[in-house]
């Protein structure tokens, strides 16, 4: 006996799913921006010759890269209030967890990109008297970031898909709203299919846009 698909009832509550979609975007975009900034800071700390900077960076990077995101989220939302008495609302806990987790992965992308730069680039900048900061900002990073685009794009996709974990602490993201509707309408297959379509559309359009910008930048350099 075949399954009878019926999206008519689900579409009547499309505003609920759209509200959850906006919640996903709020968490994802803010975490992506903070993660990119934090990742650069961690990468520079890890590459530092000073152990007081490099060792804490290594410890944080390895911890957040090797432990499950959901466990990290539970620790920040449930455990910290018990251990140190610091309470966060669901949105803040999501931002902190996703941002730090993303920073750890971005740090390794930054580090790999910076270390991939030819030695002549470093030596050329030093030869004309540039400071380490100016050299990094004006020569190394602009070129290295172009090499990092594919890895950044892949990690950004993982972040956006990882936002579904935040439903575990009752933050109103797309998956949380979808599960609410599933319990109310008893049409989980249709609802979760729409969730998949939302993510597929969002990430595909994002990928196309980034590839377009990348190609335009390549054309401008020629």
Q: pLDDT tens digits, residue range 126-146?
A: 777 777 777 777 777 777 777
> What local confidence, expressed as pLDDT, does residue 1 receive?
56
pLDDT per residue as tens digits for the range 145-204: 778 888 888 899 999 999 999 999 989 899 999 999 999 988 899 999 999 999 999 889
* Domain chopping of the chain, boundaries: 8-221
One DSSP character per residue, 92-141 reads HHHHHHHHHHHHHHHHHHHHHHHHTS-HHHHHHHHHTT--HHHHIIIIIH
- Structure-derived torsion over alpha carbons of residues 96, 101, 103, 104, reported in degrees to the nearest 10: 140
**DSSP class of 163:** G
Query: Per-residue confidence at 210, pLDDT binned at 50, 70, 90?
Result: confident
Stretch 9-20: mean pLDDT: 89
pLDDT per residue as tens digits for the range 69-82: 999 999 999 999 89
What's this model's pTM, rounded to 2 decimal places?
0.87
Note the maximum CA span of the chain.
Answer: 77
Helices (H), 119-187: 119-127, 132-135, 141-162, 174-185
Three-class SS state of 75: helix
One DSSP character per residue, 28-41 reads HHHHHHHHHHHHHH
Chain centre distance of CA 182: 27
User: How many C-beta atoms lie closer than 10 Å to residue 201's C-beta?
Assistant: 10
> What local confidence, expressed as pLDDT, does residue 222 receive?
53
CA distances from 155 to 93, 149, 203 (A): 20, 10, 12
Q: What residue has token string 């209030």?
A: 81
Hey, which CATH number is domain 8-221, 1.10.3720.10, 3.40.50.280, 1.10.10.10, 3.40.50.720?
A: 1.10.3720.10
> What local confidence, expressed as pLDDT, does residue 38 receive?
96
> What local confidence, expressed as pLDDT, does residue 217 receive?
63
Rounded Cα distance, 127 and 70, in Å: 48
pLDDT per residue as tens digits for the range 81-104: 899 988 899 999 999 999 999 999
Rounded Cα distance, 25 and 173, in Å: 8
């Amino acid at each position: 006996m075949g399954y009878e698909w019926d999206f008519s009832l689900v579409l009547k509550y499309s505003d609920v799913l759209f509200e959850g979609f906006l919640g996903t975007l709020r968490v994802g975009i803010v975490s992506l921006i903070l993660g990119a900034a934090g990742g650069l800071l961690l990468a520079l700390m890890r590459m530092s010759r000073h152990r007081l900077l490099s060792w804490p960076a290594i410890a944080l990077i390895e911890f957040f890269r090797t432990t499950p995101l959901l466990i990290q989220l539970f620790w920040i939302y449930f455990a910290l209030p018990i251990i140190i008495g610091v309470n966060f609302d669901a949105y803040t806990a999501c931002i902190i967890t996703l941002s730090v987790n993303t920073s750890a992965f971005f740090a390794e992308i930054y580090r790999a990109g910076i270390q991939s730069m030819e030695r002549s680039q470093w030596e050329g900048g030093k030869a004309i008297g540039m400071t380490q900061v100016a050299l990094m900002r004006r020569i190394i990073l602009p070129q290295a970031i172009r090499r990092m685009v594919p890895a950044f794009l892949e990690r950004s996709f993982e972040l956006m898909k990882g936002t579904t974990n935040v439903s575990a602490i009752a933050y109103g993201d797309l998956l949380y709203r979808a599960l609410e509707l599933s319990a109310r309408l008893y049409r989980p297959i249709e609802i979760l299919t729409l969730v998949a379509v939302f993510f597929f559309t969002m990430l595909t359009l994002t990928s196309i846009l980034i590839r377009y910008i990348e190609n335009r930048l390549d054309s401008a350099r020629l």
